[in-house]
Amino acid sequence: MPLQNRVLPTGEIVVDPARGLFTGNRGILHGPGQTLGPRRWTHPHWITCALTHPRGLYHGPMPDRRWTALFFLDEAVALAAGHRPCAECRRAAYTRFRTAWSLAFGQRPRAPEIDASLHQARVTRARAQLRHQAPARDLPDGSFLLWQERAHLVLGDSLLPFSPAGYGAPLDRPTAPVTVLTPRPTLAVLTAGYRPVLHPSAGSEPGSCQNLAAPSRP
């Protein structure tokens, strides 16, 4: 049976059989029965990891007394949910993310400083996702917004409807103000040039985000 470990761009963690390109963690969220309690994080270091660790450290999704493996359709979903690239198993991506952060904010912080800024911008004390309004035309590729009560990926002049299994047919990008899901600091990083890895169902758009397939794991 699928476990409750699929993260949506709206920040929810759900049960779904679809597979994704990335894993990650926020600490130990599950109990002995491999079910989630009310906690949605136990530390502020929300990372996005490769499915295959370079040192073979993958331990399964919910082992006893170990961190809870969460899974994302792609990196854009992980960014919208408030994660950033892991500095160990995705060192090159982390370096690019940190460089874009420096361009956006004029400083080159360490990982704990990035995490502290992201934590303030992604969730409330009540575990609700922090969202804001912005014109859709101003959002960078790789960000997520709500449109017609559904999460959509921004890519070029289009919006791609999200589902845990992949993206739907593109829609024209609106120009009106919309509800933005991706945290403000991450929006700035995307605007500064960071390009997340997208699921193959996003298709390819010249000059846009990377579309790199990766092995899947439940």
Residues of the chain with pLDDT under 70: 54-60, 62-65, 204-218
pLDDT digits (tens, 9 = 90+) for 99-146: 999 999 998 899 999 999 999 999 988 889 999 999 999 999 999 999
Res 208: pLDDT: 39
Q: What angle in degrees, to the nearest 10, is found between the helix axes of 91-105 and 184-191?
A: 90
pLDDT digits (tens, 9 = 90+) for 185-194: 999 999 999 9
**Residues whose CB is less than 8 angstroms from the CB of residue 41 and which lie 6 or more positions away in sequence, other chains included:** 26, 27, 29, 123
Q: What angle do CA 88, 49, 142 make, to 5 degrees?
A: 115
Res 55: pLDDT: 66
Res 65: pLDDT: 63
